[in-house]
Structure 1
């Protein structure tokens, strides 16, 4: 049985559009949902010149190629994104500004994206969005993640192991499992393996200033193949960490 605390924290926003300041013009345009796509095209030195620190986390193991981007504590069983990639191991990069994680990317192939599209769940259609709406995922525990959909079973397995060690206790996955991994990196990020010796891990990282609703985007080549996945936590504008955006 999955953690009662995590189930209680699930939000009804998981398949809905949230209202965020995207654009006041008619129609919906992905370029108005984020100004930070350039992050994935710049080198570490170039980003450093913009006061953005780059953290190369390591590889996430995608055993099925079905990617879950979510708050893993509030929505551990969030559906995978509709678009899939080939199973494999893919590097995750974090972009840090103002002491927080401004964005997170997962790279599938080299190259500069020719175009960007909003990452959606099955059944979501960006054409139905109004100009002040966007699809994304809700954060209620201050963290986001990338993992394979099959890794959820490993999280359940680890949960059961901890419960067996503490019979009758009310287990909290963050406190009882994840915190130890995060502590090794000042609680900012962790490449978490739920079950030792089993393939399938989770890239967990701070989500901007904390709880909120955040979009994910696919960077595609001219043939429509996925090159990169980017989560924008709304911390910076124009891929520049030298000045904090003004609050609207």
Structure 2
């Protein structure tokens, strides 16, 4: 319990900063120092289970434009899409659960083991400007993260307008009035949410590790630089292993 309280306190401190500290590297900023969990996307369900990690296959996220938003959809629904894009399509999302928490979330675009990794950034962000103890990430203030297409933001606005029309005198809260019903089925851990029934565009929503903070997202690329997978690391485990909880630094 004490470890969890200390972890929560650390994440709250991180949320107030522009960057989250990561391990320093004598040679400058190094993506391999930003996460030790890249191996997660190369392991099968049985291998993950042997490391006390439960793989949850959520289903496909519909990317109608290929512009991906990785964000807290409640605290920052209008966050810009990532600078790198993918081909429009439906892509599977896998969650990695350890210690009763969502430790990481991936979206797979093509089969294969990544040849190298890079930090996922927004337009205008440049990893070369980072000091060796800094990282770009997205802020979480409502305890959840997500993957969705940038165009799905319009569907969320449409759903909110529908609910507001049904309750014209109420102060609409998207979590309480819309999203909670989907999350309740998994005790709040995750949901594949479709804002407007019958319309393309859904949202993979998932618990963000131990709660609020700032979390990095990474692209796993093949030798030619094509995107194979996207990974969000919620700092719950180290070395892709859920058998021992990391010690706080």
Report Cα offsets for 1:49-68 as digits up to 9, x if no partner: 00000000000000000000
Q: Would the aligned equivalents of 1:6 and 1:75 in 2 still touch at CA under 8 Å?
A: no
Question: Please, which runs of 5 or more residues in structure 2 have no aligned partner?
Answer: none
How far off its partner does 1:20 sit? Answer: 2.7
Over 3 Å counting, the alpha-carbon distance change for 1:121 and 1:51 in structure 2 is: same
Between the aligned partners of 2:2 and 2:246, the Cα distance in structure 1 is 39
How far off its partner does 1:32 sit? Answer: 0.2
- More moved, 83-92 vs 22-31: 22-31
Over 3 Å counting, the alpha-carbon distance change for 1:150 and 1:8 in structure 2 is: farther
Question: Please, which runs of 5 or more residues in structure 1 have no aligned partner?
Answer: none
Over 3 Å counting, the alpha-carbon distance change for 1:7 and 1:53 in structure 2 is: closer
Over 3 Å counting, the alpha-carbon distance change for 1:47 and 1:3 in structure 2 is: closer
How far off its partner does 1:168 sit? Answer: 1.8
How far off its partner does 1:131 sit? Answer: 1.1
How far off its partner does 1:17 sit? Answer: 7.1
How far off its partner does 1:132 sit? Answer: 1.3
Over 3 Å counting, the alpha-carbon distance change for 1:65 and 1:165 in structure 2 is: same
Q: What is the alpha-carbon root mean square deviation over aligned residues? A: 6.0
Q: Would the aligned equivalents of 1:11 and 1:74 in 2 still touch at CA under 8 Å?
A: no
Question: Paired residues, what number?
Answer: 248
Between the aligned partners of 1:83 and 1:4, the Cα distance in structure 2 is 34
Over 3 Å counting, the alpha-carbon distance change for 1:140 and 1:22 in structure 2 is: same
How far off its partner does 1:140 sit? Answer: 0.1
How far off its partner does 1:206 sit? Answer: 0.1
Between the aligned partners of 1:173 and 1:86, the Cα distance in structure 2 is 29
Between the aligned partners of 2:185 and 2:114, the Cα distance in structure 1 is 33
